[in-house]
A and B are shown apart, each in its own frame.
Chain A
Amino acid sequence: MSAAPAEIDRPVSPPTPTPRRARREARVDGAQRRREARRQLRYELISGGSGVALALFMWGHMALVGSILTGARGFDALAGGLEEVYIAQPTVLAITALFLIHAAMASRKIPAQIREHRKLRAVTEPLRVESARSPGHLESSLWVWQVWTGMILLVLGSFHLVLVGFDVFTDTFGVRTGIEAASTQARVSEGLWIVYALLLLCVEFHASTGLYRFAVKWGIGSRLGRPALRRIEHVLLYGFLGLGFLTLAVLAKWIEPPLAFLLGATV
């Protein structure tokens, strides 16, 4: 790229290069900048891509766990089936890896972002008062919630992954190796439901918000416009939250499996 052509110089132009230009010229050579630029792009792609993959997985996951709605037999049959053909085991490992990669990549910018966010809030604090008229602010609070739910997910998600890892690979918690309705229902109803309720809230919020932000960032569905994207996000969020809490209620043995009739027998 060449310097500013002389003919666009206005009479008021500073005689010396602006500080910004001087800094630009002093900056590292082209090849290094290019490498840095590529690195930035890679980070973006990995954190975004792993996030989308995890969000999609969570929906599939919901469908599988949701099998408890048909009763313990349905749940056990599905889990056992997936373990028998060795789909469950590698999935647990792959998702754990993806989970850690996503956490590492997505959190990379958090310290800098928090600094920026604070600074902006300090400058434009009264924006909050006017928040009804400035949807831009809504986006920033979405982002803050992404950070919070992300941190909770890192803790609770790891816990859950370890637990499921034990289920799938050992017989520590059940009568046999593998995920079982009986042992799962037992531990959930005995108090783990608190953890799972929190986990569910965070997962669904984080996933739907993340997908929305991903779409906005890359211009996916930009024809629909942001309000429409947000509506889609809300439908997904509340839909999966509803399904999730129903499933949790069955797992915690608060209600009978509502779809048990599908398998034509009692639990």
Chain B
Amino acid sequence: MSTEMITLETPRRLRFEIFRFNPEDPSSEPHHQTFELDEQPFMTLYIALNRIREEQDPSLQFDFACRSAICGSCGMLVNGRPRLACNTLTRDLGETIRLEPLPVFKLIGDLSVDTGTWFRGMAEQVGGWIEEKAPFQAHAEEERMDADLAQAIYEGERCIECGCCIAGCGVANVNPDFVGAAGLNRIARFMRDPRDARSEDDWFEVVSDENGVFGCIGLMGCHDVCPKELPLLEQYAYLRRKMLGAAREEERT
């Protein structure tokens, strides 16, 4: 790491091939535009894009807020793979870097997409909120929770809704109602939560149809692409096992 400053005497000249299209402008045609930039030490795509916008083309559209992989707004296809621009270092990439907006989501312009509408729709579809067992008592002592369980819930809660797993999923690309890995993760998170009133039986039809866990063909693109490294694979297996349990339960009664 420390040698980097020294070895970068002659910085690489990076070529950015950036997708340009403004759906609002009838004369705009989708195309790739090339920008060149000298690499600087520890340069992220976030830095690079901001420099391009400041120095070369102020009309370039892309989203950022936190620049620390927390807000989930900077997801884009980097050489075809969904990534967060703010935590992708240019030194990990070749000299030519292709940037495109995430598929599946509505394009706002250039690299900027609307993930919010998709995620809201998903949340409504899966019921991605707590349904409390008893009304919340602000001053009462909280019920204790097993540390492992708390950790498992927290793992699911870490999703930043960046949409990388959705863009990288073949099923989500063809079926707009598929809840995707983020949706399955959300379901698993609330299903685990002992404060939630819903039983496995209540979840059954949300989870088990072709828009849920059985729509997924298990190629694990989502798991490998998630920039927050959520245990999507485990969530997915957890749901399958739970649904099997729920079906057995129903058979017995």
Show the binding face of A for B, using Cβ within 8 Å. Answer: 1-5, 8, 12-14, 17-21, 23-24, 30, 33-34, 36-38, 40-41, 43-45, 109, 113, 115-117, 119-120, 123-127, 129-130, 133-137, 139-140, 143, 213, 216-220, 222, 226
Contacts and interface: CB of A to CB of B under 8 A. Distances in A.
Given A37-B204, A137-B221, A1 B127 contact: yes
A216 B127 CA distance: 26
B98 A139 contact: no
Interface size class of B (residues with CB under 8 A): 35 or more
Given A113-B170, A217-B218, 18 more contacts: A13-B120, A18-B117, A20-B122, A20-B176, A21-B124, A24-B125, A30-B205, A33-B205, A37-B204, A37-B214, A40-B209, A41-B247, A44-B214, A119-B173, A123-B173, A127-B80, A217-B237, A222-B233
Given A116-B171, A217-B240, A218-B241, A109 B81 contact: no
Majority secondary structure, A binding face = helix
Contacts of A219: 233-234, 236-238, 240-241
Given A33-B205, A126-B80, A23 B240 contact: no
Contact of A41 (B80, B81, B169, B208): B208
Contact of B129 (A5, A33, A222): A5
Contacts, number: 156
B163 interface: no
Contact of A130 (B81, B129, B217, B241): B81
Nearest to B116: A12
A49 to B, nearest CB: 11
25 contacts: A5-B129, A20-B121, A34-B205, A40-B208, A40-B214, A41-B214, A41-B244, A113-B170, A116-B217, A120-B170, A123-B173, A124-B80, A124-B167, A126-B79, A126-B81, A129-B80, A133-B81, A137-B221, A137-B224, A140-B219, A217-B236, A218-B237, A218-B241, A219-B236, A219-B240
Interface of B: 77, 79-82, 98, 103, 116-117, 120-125, 127, 129, 131, 167-171, 173-177, 198, 202, 204-210, 212, 214, 217-225, 233-234, 236-238, 240-241, 243-244, 247
Majority secondary structure, B binding face = helix
Given A134-B81, A219-B241, A143 B224 contact: no
